[in-house]
């Protein structure tokens, strides 16, 4: 079950580093003033790894500021891409990835969250994914 207020990125291709968008607008979710723990769900429908150097780090970022002007912290992340870029032995594939998160970091509550994809390598088509929060 998906709570549409907690969708951080709708399906769409990303070929350069960017914050997640819903309906072509940057999406920031207000989790409120208290502690929130849950899952950061990433559904990947396409991923380019043709040059064996592509790396996609999909992050759940938190901030105490609603505009993410500063105090940005990474609350959870998933690295995907070519195994050569990830120091692994398997290329990432399409599918669902789930990462546990908390909006507390070093005693501070990060009230606002967004998704962000940092991309490195030789990118032609990039990655197509959606992301949301779940309990």
Per-residue pLDDT reduced to its tens digit, 69-78: 999 999 999 9
State the Cα–Cα distance between residues 70 and 124, nearest whole angstrom.
31
What phi-psi label fits residue 121: left (phi over 0), alpha (psi between -120 and 50 degrees) or beta? Answer: left
State the Cα–Cα distance between residues 15 and 118, nearest whole angstrom.
10
List the domain range (segments joined by +) for residue 54.
Answer: 4-134
pLDDT confidence bin for 4, thresholds 50/70/90: confident
Indicate yes or no: pTM above 0.75: yes
Domain count for the chain, please give it: 1
CATH of the domain at 9: 2.60.120.1110
Per-residue pLDDT reduced to its tens digit, 7-64: 999 999 999 999 999 999 999 999 999 999 999 999 999 999 999 999 999 999 999 9
Question: Per-residue pLDDT for 5 more than 90?
Answer: no
pLDDT of residue 88: 83
Handedness of CA 83, 80, 59, 118 (dihedral sign): positive
């Amino acid at each position: 079950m998906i709570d549409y207020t907690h969708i951080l990125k709708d399906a769409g291709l990303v070929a350069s580093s960017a914050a997640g968008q819903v309906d072509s607008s940057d999406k920031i979710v207000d989790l409120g003033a208290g502690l929130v723990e849950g899952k950061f769900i990433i559904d990947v429908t396409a991923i380019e790894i043709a040059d064996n150097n592509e790396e996609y780090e999909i992050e759940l970022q938190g901030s105490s500021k609603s505009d993410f002007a500063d105090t940005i912290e990474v609350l959870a992340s998933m690295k995907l891409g070519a195994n050569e870029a990830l120091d692994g032995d398997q290329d990432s594939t399409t599918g669902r990835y789930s990462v546990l998160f908390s909006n507390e970091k070093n005693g501070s509550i990060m009230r606002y969250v967004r998704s962000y994809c940092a991309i490195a390598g030789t990118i032609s088509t990039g990655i197509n994914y959606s992301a949301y929060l779940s309990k």
